Amino acid sequence: MAQVRTIFKYEFRNYFRARRFYVLLAIDLLISALLTTVVGYYRPSIFLSSNLTFYSGWWGQFVTFVIILAGVFFGGDAISGEFQNKTGYFIIPNPIRRSSIYVGKWMAAYAASAITVGLFALGAVINGVFYFGASVPSQLWVSILFALLYLAAVMGFTFFFSSLFKTSSISILVTVILFLFVFSLVQTLVATLVGIEPWFILTYGGEIVGNILQVPYPVTNTIPGPGRFSLTTFAVSVPVGLAIISIYFFLTAAAGLFLFERKEFT
Amino acid sequence: MTGPSIEAVNLSKNYERFAAVSNLNLRLEGPKCVGFLGPNGAGKTTTLKIFTHLIKPTSGEAYINGQDITKNVRKALAHAGALIESPEIYPAFTPREALSEIAELRGIPRTERAKRVDEVIAEVRMAEWENKRVGKFSKGMKQRINIAAALLTDPEVILLDEPTTGLDPRGMTEVRDIVKSLKTRNKLIFMSSHLLSEVADVCDEVAMIDHGKLVKYDTLGNVTSQFSRGEGVVDITVSRDIDEVQVTAISAVDGVVSLEKLDPRNVRVRFRGGLDAQEKLLYDLVSKRIGMVSFKGSASALEDAYLNLIEDSR
Ligand SMILES: Nc1ncnc2c1ncn2[C@@H]1O[C@H](COP(=O)(O)OP(=O)(O)OP(=O)(O)O)[C@@H](O)[C@H]1O
Ligand SMILES: [Mg+2]
């Protein structure tokens, strides 16, 4: 719809002018530069034994962090900021549905994030080509595709939280805490203590981005421990990972939209 | 279709248990300016927010041009422009960009957009700033851009919540002039304000609200005469300092009840009767050749009415 496109266009322009966008690019470049230096100087064998392990170590290990950062930076206060900064008052009293605003903003945030993720991929490929020549393993393309899907779910999730609050800093803080601490904590707890697969954790689903670059594909592994104890490390399979990602995406998108439709500019 | 209209039907808005607007019934129709008056916290902004989709009513309906705002925003607001509270524009945007976004959202054809944006920017006297980022603008400058946004599509219905607050004296006059010119272009303007002189100056009708309830809706003339004890009030200005001769001359005019000197060149005259008497008074004063340079109905009449009505409803 034309209005969604308009919102997208101007929101994207706004992201492009925001300091945040450049901070994120800088972080992106910093990670890439650090990796370039470390790999170039120390030549770690886990990176350099094959081009697949190279991409697995570089892209597979770090891109999920870049994705979460982008989700928080661009989505963390996308909606709450409209309330706190009163910018919503400029757009809302126009003949436009709330949903068009939400979708347009979401797409702009996604596009801006995808650029930063793309740049990180570029850094990986440039280095990969330097060490292993132009033969980029096909798994990398699949992994990039998974990363973009994962980004959509992360962005859906952060948008949902941003429409839960009316204060930018609170919604950003909550999403940061969830992604960086709560998710991994809960995942570790249920996996090690209770021994069930943490299929309800988004970051667990996101592990397919890294897993696809490993040969053989990692499997769930139970190591018998002392006495009756055993330790299980869960590895998410591609179908399960994709299911987690898409369920998170659809649920948070629907819930976020629902909240924004009902939210009042008081 | 008939003229532009705004209608509230049993409109209520509760915040928790508190009724900010309760059972408001009000129908405004046709080209005119209606002043929306009431004390702080009366429910003016709340009412206007319901009409602009910023909040939802707890019960009742709000219509613009016959379209229910909660059922079809796009139709209801298609012919309405609004300025509620003080919206902010993304600091990185220029007025031109912000207004272009609204123009696009409102479906102004691509070929006309730039021209229309130019026109409204000129109308609010911001041409000098059109390509500067909004981030560093003063409150009044932003308010001008917000007014421009409300006027962008030349809408039939215009909702304004205290449009002149934050503006400098010239800005206030300019906005009043804009509102007056809108009236001549067949617009329906619904405007809240605490400035009774402003309302008396630009509005044809007034709606008064207190504690979320409509206290009065009538023409300005009817509202003021109801509480004037059969008296009218005008403020007149003369070209030189007023002397005894002039005072005697004015007092001698048929129907004049009292005379109050506001400053050396301004007097407030109370007289018996309504508009007919006011017309005769003007004629008589002119023929007396007392050096009168201005004669206008005083806002103090509206002030009297306001104080009576608002006090009564407590
Ligand atoms: N978010 C909210 N939560 C609770 N009460 C609110 C909220 N917003 C407004 N109110 C209450 O609703 C009432 C009406 O407020 P409103 O802003 O409509 O008044 P107003 O007539 O515009 O006043 P003013 O002249 O000061 O602008 C006030 O008593 C206010 O305290
Ligand atoms: Mg108000």
CATH number for the domain that contains residue B212: 3.40.50.300
Does residue B174 sit in the same domain as residue B279?
no
pLDDT digits (tens, 9 = 90+) for A151-162: 999 999 999 999
Q: Which of B79, B88, B94 to mutate to test the interface with A (most CBs of A within 10 A)?
A: B88
- Which of A8-22, B12-26, B164-178 is least confident? B164-178
Question: Which chain B residues have a beta carbon less than 8 Å from that of A81?
Answer: none
In a domain, B308, yes or no: no
Distance between Cα B194 and ligand 2 center (Å): 9
pLDDT at B313 over 70: no
Q: How far apart are CA B195 and CA B227, in angstroms?
A: 19
Averaged pLDDT, A59-78 = 93
Q: β-strands B18-29, B157-161: how paired?
A: unpaired
- Evaluate: CB of B18 within 6 angstroms of ligand 1: yes
Does residue B26 sit in the same domain as residue B174?
yes
Is residue A138 within 8 angstroms of chain B, CB to CB? no
Q: β-strands A230-233, A221-224: how paired?
A: antiparallel
**Integer angstrom CA distances of residue A261 from A79, A88, A92, A102:** 11, 13, 11, 9
- Which of A6-15, B129-138, B154-163, B261-270 is least confident? B261-270
pLDDT digits (tens, 9 = 90+) for B65-111: 999 999 999 999 999 999 998 899 999 999 999 999 999 999 999 99
Averaged pLDDT, B117-121 = 95
Averaged pLDDT, A70-83 = 94
Is residue B245 within 8 angstroms of chain A, CB to CB? no
CA nearest to B98 within chain A? A10
In a domain, B149, yes or no: yes
Residue that is last in its domain, among B178, B206, B222: B222
Does residue B251 sit in the same domain as residue B213?
no
Distance between Cα B44 and ligand 2 center (Å): 6
Q: Among all ligands shown, which has an atom nearest to the Cα of B20? A: 1
CA dihedral sign, ordered B249, B250, B254, B257: negative
Does residue B237 sit in the same domain as residue B201?
no
**Domain around B79:** 5-222
Q: How many domains does chain B have?
A: 2
pLDDT at A30: 95
Q: Are A7 and A88 in contact (CB under 8 A)?
A: no
Residue that is last in its domain, among B222, B244, B275: B222
Residue A175: its H or E element: helix A168-177
Q: Do B49 and A94 touch (CB under 8 A)?
A: no
pLDDT at B29: 95
pLDDT at B121: 95
> Tokens 């709330």 belong to which residue?
A98
Residue bearing the CA closest to ligand 1, atom 27: B40
Long-range contacts of B59-62 (CB under 8 A, 24+ apart): B59/B10, B59/B11, B59/B12, B60/B8, B60/B9, B60/B10, B60/B11, B60/B12, B60/B23, B60/B24, B61/B7, B61/B8, B61/B9, B61/B10, B61/B11, B62/B7, B62/B8, B62/B9, B62/B11
In a domain, B309, yes or no: no
Domain positions in chain A are 2-181+249-262
pLDDT digits (tens, 9 = 90+) for B211-261: 999 999 999 888 887 776 777 888 889 888 888 888 888 888 888 888 888
DSSP state of B22: E
- Evaluate: CB of B44 within 6 angstroms of ligand 1: yes
Task: Find the angle CA(A95)-CA(A100)-CA(A101) to the nearest 5 degrees.
Answer: 90
Does residue B78 sit in the same domain as residue B146?
yes
Q: How far apart are CA A152 and CA A133, in angstroms?
A: 31
Question: Which chain B residues have a beta carbon less than 8 Å from that of A9?
Answer: 104
Q: Are B50 and B57 in contact (CB under 8 A)?
A: yes
**What's the order of all strands across the beta sheet hosting B231-238?**
B256-263, B266-272, B231-238, B292-297
Is residue A22 within 8 angstroms of chain B, CB to CB? no
Q: Do A93 and B84 touch (CB under 8 A)?
A: yes
pLDDT at A96 over 70: yes
pLDDT at B164 over 70: yes
Average pLDDT in chain B: 90
Q: Do B87 and A7 touch (CB under 8 A)?
A: no
Does residue B46 sit in the same domain as residue B192?
yes
Side-chain-side CA neighbours of residue A32 (13 Å):
20
Does residue B15 sit in the same domain as residue B116?
yes
Does residue B105 sit in the same domain as residue B70?
yes
In a domain, B307, yes or no: no
In a domain, B312, yes or no: no
In a domain, B305, yes or no: no
pLDDT at A1 over 90: no
> Tokens 């969830």 belong to which residue?
A178
Taking alpha carbons only, the member of B298, B304, B300, B309 closest to residue B217 is B309
What confidence category does residue B197 fall into, taking pLDDT thresholds of 50, 70 and 90? confident
Averaged pLDDT, A22-49 = 90
- Evaluate: CB of B41 within 6 angstroms of ligand 1: yes
Does residue B19 sit in the same domain as residue B168?
yes
Q: What are phi and psi of A16, to 5 degrees?
A: -65, -25
- Which of A11-20, A158-167, A209-218, A219-228 is least confident? A219-228
**CATH code, domain with B273:** 3.30.70.920
pLDDT at B1: 52
Question: Which chain A residues have a beta carbon less than 8 Å from that of B146?
Answer: 90
Nearest-neighbour CA in chain A from B279: distance (Å):
43
Nearest CB neighbour to B92, from listed A18, A94, A95 = A18
In a domain, B102, yes or no: yes
Averaged pLDDT, B295-307 = 80
pLDDT digits (tens, 9 = 90+) for B12-61: 999 988 999 999 999 999 999 999 999 999 999 999 999 999 999 999 99
Chain length of chain A: 266
> Tokens 């709606």 belong to which residue?
B207
Share of chain A above pLDDT 90, in %: 74
Does residue B78 sit in the same domain as residue B137?
yes
**B44, B159, B199, best to mutate for ligand 1 pocket (most atoms within 8 Å of CB):** B44
Share of chain B above pLDDT 90, in %: 58
Distance between Cα B13 and ligand 2 center (Å): 14
Please tell me which residue, B305 or A239, carries the higher pLDDT value. Answer: A239
Taking alpha carbons only, the member of B208, B191, B201 closest to residue B33 is B191
- Evaluate: CB of B263 within 6 angstroms of ligand 1: no
For residue A115, what are the contacts with CB-CB under 8 A and spacing of at least 6?
none
Q: Do B87 and A14 touch (CB under 8 A)?
A: no
pLDDT at B314 over 60: no
Residue bearing the CA closest to ligand 1, atom 19: B41
What confidence category does residue B312 fall into, taking pLDDT thresholds of 50, 70 and 90? low
